[in-house]
Structure formats: structure tokens, C-alpha cells
Chains A and B, each alone.
Chain A
């Protein structure tokens, strides 16, 4: 017999009231006394009132559960019944200032905590997903709002500038993603708008810093970010459509880049029926192209940095609103919306029988010149 069995046998004998146990050593004796000590707990009496109250509560609870499980009563009735029970059955009182809550309160609390946990998880999920969202995604707005929210808690100007520059870099990355993933023009515009706003905010934040080493440091960081922005805008220019190229060009112009601008357009009807179009402006590059209504058109006869002369085969009788523009080989572009009219028909004096372009406001709000 091993010691465990031997001890168990001794305990059984002791429980049976055997007073003279077989010869045992101190360890066995100590174990038996320990067992006896535990058995002494049986001397603790149970408070009668507590036992009665608890029994009453248990009866009511069991009854409620049974009735609900058996579907004998409607849900509404079960609530009435449980309300009645709460009124008529004395609840088990908590004596402890730190003790557990009564069951119903506890259940309500648990339900509340579960709902709160689900909401919290949902919020965290949405915020996590929105952090990875790009322009055009449904959650992109949340991501931007989150960034704006973060800015409201920045107290120190240095931190604000730093955060703004970080957000600018993030906006540039978003723009790059939007273009490289081939998103639609709306999404790219949205991303570019964000870059525009962040560029301006970063510049303002850095300008607001007191002139010291911190500002120099921030200025360096900003210059680096803006250089990256310029470089990326240039790279992306050839991957976007004409209208977006105009916006990219505009943004490059705000960064101080020498981008093309068109200030005037003159259209002459030639004797062979073609139109001679003369664009006046700035920063026209060699091999710049004439663009009419967003499409490359005509043959450029002469090009200087301030003037571009091209001939196009558009019918001489064509009058109306045209969008005349120029695109440099690097993709930077500019346009002017003009109203082409016939001076002879309009009664104006025109010895050259030319058609003149009158700049009109851009109905689409695109950055015309």
C-alpha cells in the first residue's frame, strides 16, 4: 500500500470512529489533523435569515426561468412578473461595500459593458480601416477627420508644425497611391485638394514659429517635404488626364514652379480655311502642344516662352465656346476658355476678317489662366 492509499485508509478509519489508529508517523498524523480541521468547518452554522431569503430568491428566479423557457407567458408578461417578483420577494441584501452587485443590476451592467465593448471594437475597427483608406474610399473622410482631430490637441506650435508636415507627407503618399492605383479623377482631385490644404497649413504652421533653431529645423523638414511634393507631382503628371494635369500644374505653380499660363488667345481665319491660333502667356516650353477642348490639336508653327502660334483644321465657320490650352512636354498645362465669334457677323470692325477670342469665366471652375 502506498502512502496515499495508506493515508486515505487512515482517514476512512478515523471517519468511521476508529479511535486507535494503526501506528502512524508524524506526517500522517499531521495530515489527519489537517483533514479534521477542515471537517471542523462543519461546525459553522448558516445564518437562518440569509438562507431563507436566498431560498426565496432562488425559488422566484427558478420559477421565472421555467416560465420563460416553457413559453407559457409572453415576453412582456414575463417582465411584469419579474417586476412583481422584485417587489414582493426580498432580495438578497449585499452587506459589503465592495461586494458584488445584485443579479439584475449586474446583468444590466454586463449587458451595457457588452454593448460598449462591441461599439468600442467597431470604432477601433473603423478607425483602423480608415487609417488605411485612400482617396475615393468610403472611410477616407473619417481618416481626414481623425487627422484634423489630432491637430486640435497639439498645444505646442513646434509640435503642430511637425504634425502638419507629417500629414502633408501622408497626403502626398495618398495622392501617389490614388494615381498609381488608377483611381478616377474625382478621387485624384480629392487627394490633390488634401495635398493643397496640407501644403498651405504646413507653411502657415512653420511661419508661425518663433525665429529660432526650432523653426530652422521645421523649415528644413518642410522644404524637404515640398521638394518631394514637387518631384512626385512631376512624376504623376504624365499619368493623369488633361483636367487633372491642370490642377497638378496649378499646385506646382503655388510651390513656385515656373508653370505655363495663357493670358490671351487670338484666332485668325486663313485664306485656306484653317484657323491660325495665337496663344500669349508665359513659360511655354519648346515642343509645347496646342490643346483644344482637352485634346491635342493643330500643328505648332512657332513657339517662344511667351507665344505659341499653331494652325488647326477646325472649320472656319465654327464659332462658340472653346477651351484652348497648351501642354508642355513635362505635362504641365494651362488653358483659357474663349468665346469665338465672327467680327463680320457681330458688326465689329475687323479689317483682317479675323475671329477673336474673348476669355470667359471657366464654368467648371478649373484653374484656367
Chain B
């Protein structure tokens, strides 16, 4: 089940929405937010794995978006996503540093309750909530995806998220990143290889992934 919150960027072009948002037009800004929220939220959740942190990070990303939208040079949707993902990457890195630092402190105090506390926060994953086994598997998958994605370069992450979560075309992503489509395909190829390797899908990996469909 996909529960997207899609903005109403239907009657007008994306470029017009960006133009209006640059002057902090409330409706335009909210339209961009509604369009990008699912992508940024899911990306952040995949990277961080903790809904409590994700909400903070996502809030910050969108407040920065509102604040800095006039600095956005592109009027293209793929460019907008690339820009927003870059902001998210910075926020995620900072949150991860906070977590690492905090966990070190917790360990030094011999208080190991943190992980239990965070594990108790349920990931909202559609209809899996009613099935504990599937929910557990889903959590594992999410954790693996997060770890695997951490092995991609910032550009590779933009391409993978832009392509598979935001549904952007290779040509549009290439234009957003100022590259040739061929170069973006190479980056995509390498990124998927890396992901496959770290998800245990590639030849020679430790195990085959559950629920293989191809």
C-alpha cells in the first residue's frame, strides 16, 4: 500500500510553482512540501532508522527549504529533489553524529537502555503492523537498506532516491546534476551494484534476499 501525500501541482507547471515559492507564496511552498515530503521522509527513515530522529530531520529540511527557496537556481523538479536531498544529507549526517556521540556517552555511563527505548518506537509500515513477523523482517530490510545506502556517495544517493523514490528520469537527473545522461547511468549502475552487494544480493554475497522477485 502506498500512502503518498501528493501536492496539487497539476493545473500549473512545476516551474511556476517554484517561481511562486521563491516569493514565499504560502500555497506554492506547501505544494512543494506535500510533493517532496514522502521522498524526504522515506529517505531519512531509511538512513536513520528512527522515526523520532526522522521527524526532527525532516522538519529541519523543510524549514530550510522555505527559508532558502530563493537560492534554488533550477526550476526543474529533478533539480528541486536533488537540492532537497542534499539538504537532507547534511541534516542526516549531523543527526548521525549526534546519535554516535550520545551513544558513546550512554555506553560510558553503562546505561544501555537507549537502543531498547528506540526499538520500542514502532515503524509505521503500512499493513505490516498487524503481522509481527513481517514487521520484523521489514525492519531488518530497512536497516539493511540504510546501511547499504550509507555506502553510496552523495551523488549516487541523489540518483538512486531521485530515480526510485521520486520517480525522476535519468535525463532530468543528469540536467539537475550538470552531467551527461551516460555519466548518470554509470553512477546508477555502480550505486545499484553497491547496494546489491551490501544487501547480500550480488553474486558471492553471504545470503539471498528474502522475497526475491526477479
A residues bordering B, Cβ < 8 Å? Answer: 3-5, 7-8, 21, 24, 26-27, 29-47, 50-51, 54-55, 57-59, 61-63, 65-66, 69, 92-100, 103
- Assess the A95–B5 pair: CB atoms within 8 A: no
- Assess the B66–A31 pair: CB atoms within 8 A: no
Nearest B-chain residue to A103, judged by Cβ: B63
Check: B213 CB closer than 8 A to any chain A CB. Answer: yes
Check: B34 CB closer than 8 A to any chain A CB. Answer: yes
Nearest B-chain residue to A95, judged by Cβ: B52
- Assess the B46–A41 pair: CB atoms within 8 A: yes
Sampled A-B contacts (14; CB under 8 Å): A34-B193, A38-B165, A39-B165, A43-B126, A45-B1, A46-B3, A46-B38, A54-B62, A58-B29, A61-B66, A95-B51, A96-B56, A99-B57, A100-B60
Nearest 4 A-B pairs (CB), nearest first? A95-B52, A99-B56, A30-B196, A31-B192
Q: Tell me the minimal C-beta distance from B142 to chain A in angstroms.
A: 8
- Assess the A97–B188 pair: CB atoms within 8 A: no
- Assess the B209–A33 pair: CB atoms within 8 A: yes
- Assess the B165–A66 pair: CB atoms within 8 A: no
Give chain A residues whose Cβ lies under 8 Å from the Cβ of B209. 33, 37
- Main secondary structure, interface of A, reads helix
Q: Tell me the minimal C-beta distance from B193 to chain A in angstroms.
A: 6
Give chain B residues whose Cβ lies under 8 Å from the Cβ of A63. 24, 26
- Assess the A96–B60 pair: CB atoms within 8 A: no
Check: B160 CB closer than 8 A to any chain A CB. Answer: yes
Contact of B2 among A21, A42, A47, A50 (CB under 8 A): A42
Give chain A residues whose Cβ lies under 8 Å from the Cβ of B13. none
- Assess the B55–A27 pair: CB atoms within 8 A: no
Nearest B-chain residue to A91, judged by Cβ: B59
Q: How far is the CA of A35 from the CA of B3 in the complex (A)?
A: 20
Q: Tell me the minimal C-beta distance from B9 to chain A in angstroms.
A: 15
Give chain B residues whose Cβ lies under 8 Å from the Cβ of A59. 26, 29-30
Given that A62-B24, A65-B67 are known contacts, is A32 also in contact with B41, CB under 8 Å in the complex? no
Nearest B-chain residue to A8, judged by Cβ: B185
Contacts of B192-214 to chain A: CB distance below 8 A: 192-193, 195-197, 199, 201-203, 205, 209, 212-214
Give chain B residues whose Cβ lies under 8 Å from the Cβ of A35. 160, 163-164, 192, 195
Check: B107 CB closer than 8 A to any chain A CB. Answer: no
- Assess the A57–B59 pair: CB atoms within 8 A: yes
- Assess the B196–A43 pair: CB atoms within 8 A: no
- Assess the A42–B56 pair: CB atoms within 8 A: no
Contact of B193 among A27, A40, A66, A96 (CB under 8 A): A27
Q: Tell me the minimal C-beta distance from B189 to chain A in angstroms.
A: 4
Contact of A34 among B41, B66, B67, B195 (CB under 8 A): B195
Nearest A-chain residue to B203, judged by Cβ: A26
Contacts of B52-86 to chain A: CB distance below 8 A: 52-53, 55-60, 62-63, 66-67
Q: How far is the CA of A44 from the CA of B38 in the complex (A)?
A: 8
Q: How far is the CA of A33 from the CA of B69 in the complex (A)?
A: 35
Check: B98 CB closer than 8 A to any chain A CB. Answer: yes
Q: How far is the CA of A227 from the CA of B5 in the complex (A)?
A: 85
Contacts of B16-67 to chain A: CB distance below 8 A: 23-26, 29-30, 33-34, 37-38, 41-43, 45-46, 50-53, 55-60, 62-63, 66-67
- Assess the B196–A34 pair: CB atoms within 8 A: yes
Give chain A residues whose Cβ lies under 8 Å from the Cβ of B141. 37, 40
Give chain B residues whose Cβ lies under 8 Å from the Cβ of A92. 55-56, 59
Nearest A-chain residue to B202, judged by Cβ: A30
Given that A46-B5, A66-B23, A100-B94 are known contacts, is A37 also in contact with B195, CB under 8 Å in the complex? yes
Contact of A62 among B30, B51, B186 (CB under 8 A): B30
Q: How far is the CA of A100 from the CA of B163 in the complex (A)?
A: 29
Nearest A-chain residue to B121, judged by Cβ: A95
Check: B99 CB closer than 8 A to any chain A CB. Answer: yes
- Assess the B34–A55 pair: CB atoms within 8 A: yes
- Assess the A30–B201 pair: CB atoms within 8 A: yes
- Assess the A44–B126 pair: CB atoms within 8 A: yes
Give chain B residues whose Cβ lies under 8 Å from the Cβ of A45. 1, 3, 124-126
Give chain B residues whose Cβ lies under 8 Å from the Cβ of A61. 63, 66-67
Check: B95 CB closer than 8 A to any chain A CB. Answer: yes
Give chain A residues whose Cβ lies under 8 Å from the Cβ of B125. 43-45
Check: B170 CB closer than 8 A to any chain A CB. Answer: yes
Q: Tell me the minimal C-beta distance from A196 to chain B in angstroms.
A: 53
Give chain B residues whose Cβ lies under 8 Å from the Cβ of A31. 189, 192-193, 195-196
Q: How far is the CA of A55 from the CA of B33 in the complex (A)?
A: 8
Given that A43-B1, A45-B124, A59-B26 are known contacts, is A33 also in contact with B212, CB under 8 Å in the complex? yes
Q: Tell me the minimal C-beta distance from B139 to chain A in angstroms.
A: 11
- Assess the A44–B196 pair: CB atoms within 8 A: no
Most B CB within 10 A of own CB, among A31, A36, A63, A93: A31
Give chain A residues whose Cβ lies under 8 Å from the Cβ of B193. 27, 30-31, 34
